Structure 1
Amino acid sequence: MMRTRPVKILADADQWARCAHQGTALLPGGGVGLAWTDLRSAPPIGDGSSASGTAVGLAFDRWGRLYRTDTTSNRVSVGKVGPAGAGTGTGGPSSPDIKYTRPTALVVDGDQVLYILDPGASRVHLIDLVSGTALQSVSPGPGTPAGATLGKVGVLVLLHGPDRLVVLDARCGPVRHQELVPGCAREARPVRVAGGYILWRRPDGRGYIARHDRPAGDGAELEVDGATDIVAWTDNSGRPGLLVARGPGRPFLRFLEHDGGWLEMEPLEAPGFDGGAIAASPSGRIAYSSAAATQWTAGSAARFVREGRVLSYRLDSGAYGTRWGRLFLDAIIPAQTGVALRFLTTDDDELAGPLDAAPASNTARGVSADAVVPRPDLTPPFPPRDLLDAAAAAVPLHRRRNGSEQPWHQRSADDPMETFEQPVTAPGGRYLWIEATLTGTGRVAPTIESIRVEVPGHDLLAALPRQFSREPAQADFLQRLLAPAEGLLHELDERAANRHVLVDPAAVPQEALAWLAGFTGLALDRRWPEAARRQLIAETFKLYRYRGTLAVVARILELYLGNRPSIVENWQTRGLGGRVLGLDPSGPESPGVGALGRSTGALGRFSVGGRRGSQSSFAAAAHRFTVIVPGTLSTEQRAVAALILDSQRPAHTLYTLCETHEGMRVGGFRVGLTSYPAQHPVLGPATVSHIRLGDDAVIGYGSITVPAPEASSAAGAAAGGGG
């Protein structure tokens, strides 16, 4: 039986944080890359008490609409991000009873109530965005409102004179307050609040960010010179953090919470930033004010160092004289960049003068910028400098053409990560250190995700005569010489031992999906998403049992589109075949009866049981159905959906494909048949008589940005009025 070869792994964030870094930075999910130029050392910009731009407040509602304050015109405008965005129109949330003196910060709570801070009047104006009406104007207490953020319960309002936080609720006004005492510097004052954090500024421009519930004198959590504004931010994986602005023309700094400290991410470019306001949209993008309009950030502003090194802590094989095997490295190495490895082994348990741990350049905790490593005393030691300098030179990496060494492991087609291989070029020894040297161009840098090292390596030397491995130098040479061939055989054995995954639709490699589908008689369409093709194979036999039914047609369309369509047979919406006997008492008189219903089927000028004319109700509705798809289909999706319907519908039926686009129209729809009332993760419930359909609310599925709908294959052709 084949024996799985154990490996030593460097993969998660804690392992990489415990390594010694020189010019390298940690990745949030685990991994390491090149560091970038330190942008935190910026000259101070004023005292941070006010923004230099005219717009000092930005906020988004759940519909993605942007609200912006303007201290020049003393108004609040509503619009969108871009050249024709907020600030260029004349409309905005207002009321004849509200006169803005100097509106600044804006906050939208979960009930879609807009809080407008008016320091000139020392009040906070509340406007219901659903109905567009003013609720009230309240005084948060003695002092001047300086900032606000959405808290766990209500809205946190920062007041000056004295400095304190007030919890404000739209229903009952101010709830409670908390006095603020600077724990980081006595002369600092709070200037901004975001999430659970407060930005403190000193007169010399030094900024400190600390939790608002941190005890006085407990120190700052983060120091950023020149910080003028902060906003709560979440990365693509949902990890919380903060984004810090530092005045006009400077990139925004980003920090993620990391093991009780902070992990700095690549800064964001903000061309034309006027120092006014920043805000996070419901989709997670960052908007900022500029002289012309409100703009989106423009990607990474990082300038990477050209070379960096990361040294692993000591890896222990557990046996003296161990010959380490192959090393596998998962990395992204763009053109003109590179990664080189060198190794150091020893059997000595104790070494004099080991190197000290060096934190990554983007880790920070308080003002000392120490590495965030829980229990650093548990980190295995590093080698001495002289031993490291004596290690063999690095050799180039080999990119594996067939991907990872793990059996049947496949990455998605759009994953840029690749697996590289290299034998451990060092003599046998119980302990191993790995040093990786990363080189980049300044604008482009490589990243390493994980490292795996076989321990021990292959044992082919034991099968050869002893004379071939009696000398250590000869044994090392043979160990490396036989490693590639033995590794290939070992991987083939592992694949054979795990060949059961080839008949598992969820685990089979992507290139073998068509082969597996052939056993069920399926010819897969490559236009389908990979996950949908896998699920179709898994459900094939169950679907074949009921082939040709509405349930199967709907299920196959759902697998491809991701949303379950509604299939309406036309007889369900045909109404009555003829006119109705009897009239409303307030209407015209009943017509005279001028024929025999039994012989002619006609009573006067109306008929019972059928439509007068050449087409009967049976001919209009029988064997016909309408497929109503939520949303708007692309040209490719529409072609694939038509192919599914042509191949899966009963041969004697006709169909119409209808798309709902951005929503359904009011009038002529049938709930449960031709319409989809649903809750969207961004959109909230609509209030009847307080919404404008197509403007600030839609019924059914919607999105923040609705693309221009393409021509539907049968727009509005659904029986009974359409989608």
Structure 2
Amino acid sequence: MTCSPHPATFRLLDAYVGWDQQEAYGIVGFDAPAGLRLAHRGADPEGPTRDRLLPWFPDPRLAPGCGPCGWYLLVPGERRLLRRDGCGGAFTPLWPPDRGPGPPHRPVSVAARGHRLAVVESGRVLVWRREGEQLAGVIPAERPRWAALGPGDEVLVACQGSTDLRRFDSTGGFRGVLRTGVPGEIIGLRTGPERTVWLLTDDGGRLGVHRGGHGRPFRPVTADELAAALPPSTLTSADGNGFCLGEKGPEGPETSCFTWQGRPRDPAPSATDVYETGGSYLTALIDSGISRCRWHRVRVDADVPAGTAVAAEIVVSEDGRYDESDWQLPAPGAADFLVDQPPGRFIRLRLRLSGDGGSTPVVRRIRLDFPRVTSADLLPPAFREDPAADDFTERFLSLFDATLAQLDRVIERYPSLLDPAGVPDRALPWLAGLLGLSFEAGWDARTRRALLAAAPELYRRRGTPWALREAVRIVFGVTPVVDELAVDRRWAWLRQAVGAFGAEWEQGGEGEQGQEPGPGPGRETGPGQGLGAVRLFGRSASRFRVGGTALGAAPLRAFGTPDSDPFTAHAHRFRLLLPAGSADETALRRLVERQAPAHTVGSVRTGGAGFVVGSRSTVGVDTAFVPLPVPVLGGAHPVRLGRDGVLRPGPRGLRRGVGVGVVSAVGMHTQVS
């Protein structure tokens, strides 16, 4: 019912509020958020069925190989292992008769992943590389039943009578035991991305799918969760006579069927007895709390595929007693109808589902409105004097009331369309268009919602390092370092000092040999900084100039005009630094181009192989920063001027020691030993 302090005006029947179930036959899903449906045939009415899980957990004799059409087929009776590579092809022996390891000894099941292959035999598991050309190892096991090949050369083995998984490498080395704690017996095993492990169990005829992994407990999951996490194979059906594969042919989808010996056969007719063909559900007496209540409307929210039907029947009574002839039967297929019953405090609903066995209707929710309130209540009393006419007027105006109510609900929900967390995934591009955002094709819904939620703050601080870092963090999940190259130019610093040096800010005046002039006559001293107090552009320090720069104190550049260096070398330029493999560089560059200010030039740099302080090396233990040996002209290892040595000391004298990130660069002034 409604949770407001006002009197209740409707009653819901669903998995969240409850279905008020009294009797049910052939219908399941009373606790499922998806809704009610017809039960599955067989020992497990709740499902899922074994046929539905075949694409993910095939028969133990089958294993998908490389490519969409690659399959391995184990023939236990003939002790052969067959392989099929291309679409439309036949199964051929994996090992020719004239070479190979010989037939399998009491084969049980087969598993494959990429170019690795595992054959489970009685008492051991054989692991092959290069699609059966190289034997990697033999794993001894007691009554092995299933095997799965995981990432990192890992092999998982499930033995009969145990729900624990034994871990090995391909050579047979034991790695430990993975305890699952799942009920029943494991009848299917496979691995997935992010080192996940998926199990199919049989607990007294009830099938269950469980997901877990290393450091993660196993928990039950639904078939829909399995389908969303793992891509299905092309296996469509399997029975005692063989199996069928659904593949892409030259003229569209086609089905290829084979016997369990690998020979082609005609497609078998598809099974149509997956679900029950009929079921019913009866509620208990639903109390309105109003004496002689006039129940108004019944609405059924359901999906009704072709070949299925849903029918809702109701009866109203004041004391809970009624006859079978009192039931109101709506028109066939009616999912929204008025209650045409005498007033009464209680109502009871009977739901009937029917199908063809191959599909089922799904009822998500049923809503019962009471008491009857229509726009006829706004009419003058003269229009309601005749009871028969009054009843017709109410039913007639209810048609318009229902249409207007739907429009009112759309208007009420319109503000929620601007909520990134509440709109459907398909509405996210539309919402982004309102905000002027564009999405990459590879971004998932979670990334798009996060960008939409952060859009106001990103727009407010657009063009700042924070906005660029935040955009990269949302899209790629890693916070980059924004390196503004302007802070590296030696000729653009406003230095702080207790006694500020005067500066000769004259055209071409820089002092002798690029030295900074000290205090002297006619120059102001004292705390402070600003134009005229410090040098903004030391041209001799940014580019080598004959007659003004000390040897080795500035780089040599043979391009551009020296006078424009302060504006072209580093101004308005930045660099984005990220760890190696953390983002797609092409997509990252596109994002940087869109987020960077128009007057700037940005570049992207990701880490790679090289020297990293603090990762695998410790300064003072296995490495040391030391000055280069004293350079000597000539000899067995002559130095190069301007790089390995200087002819005379700079304005600050000889450099003593090493300061990382201050005056030294690894490979220039230092060596790692």
TM-score by length of structure 2 reads 0.48
Could you tell me the TM-score, scaled by structure 1's length?
A: 0.46
Q: Which has the higher contact order (CA 8 A, sep 6+)?
A: 1
